[in-house]
């Protein structure tokens, strides 16, 4: 299975580190880690990731708004990682949402849904 280049947009440093460590342990590469809406949009356009994991609430704006802006230019699989799934689903009813707190198996299932051809095995 090829490694995915993943952008993490998360304004909580501990969660960003946890995600980064977990994804790297699974063989993926982190191409960028961002904390704000503007940084997320810029990083996505610069790095063109294979997958984005975005918190619904980011500093200086919204992860939902960042994802909408990115989608104008890029088609990138996306997982929203959030404590408020309903907030995301009200705006993006077909979104793949990872409820915080989460663990490795739920993260793997979300990645498999977002990028089905990866066929990840826990």
pLDDT digits (tens, 9 = 90+) for 15-28: 999 999 999 999 99
Distance, in Å, from the CA atom of 1 to the CA atom of 118, rounded to the nearest integer, reads: 6
Question: What is the domain class of 5-118 according to CATH?
Answer: alpha beta
- Give pTM, 2 decimals: 0.91
Q: For residue 121, what pLDDT band results from cuts at 50, 70 and 90?
A: very low
pLDDT by residue (tens digit) across 16-75? 999 999 999 999 999 999 999 999 999 999 999 999 999 999 999 999 999 999 999 999
**Inter-CA distances, 58 with 1, 22, 40, 53, 77, Å:** 31, 21, 9, 12, 19
Structure token pair of residue 84: 């408020």
């Amino acid at each position: 299975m090829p490694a995915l280049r993943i952008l993490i947009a998360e304004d909580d440093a501990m969660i960003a580190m946890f995600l980064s460590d977990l994804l790297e342990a699974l063989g993926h590469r982190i191409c960028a880690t961002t904390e704000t809406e503007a940084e997320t949009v810029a990083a996505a356009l610069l790095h063109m990731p294979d997958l984005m994991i975005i918190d619904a609430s980011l500093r200086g704006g919204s992860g939902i708004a960042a994802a909408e802006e990115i989608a104008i230019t890029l088609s990138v699989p996306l997982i929203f990682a959030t404590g408020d799934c309903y907030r995301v689903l009200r705006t993006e009813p077909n979104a793949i949402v990872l409820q915080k707190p989460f663990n490795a198996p739920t993260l793997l299932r979300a990645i498999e849904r977002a990028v089905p051809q990866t066929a990840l095995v826990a």
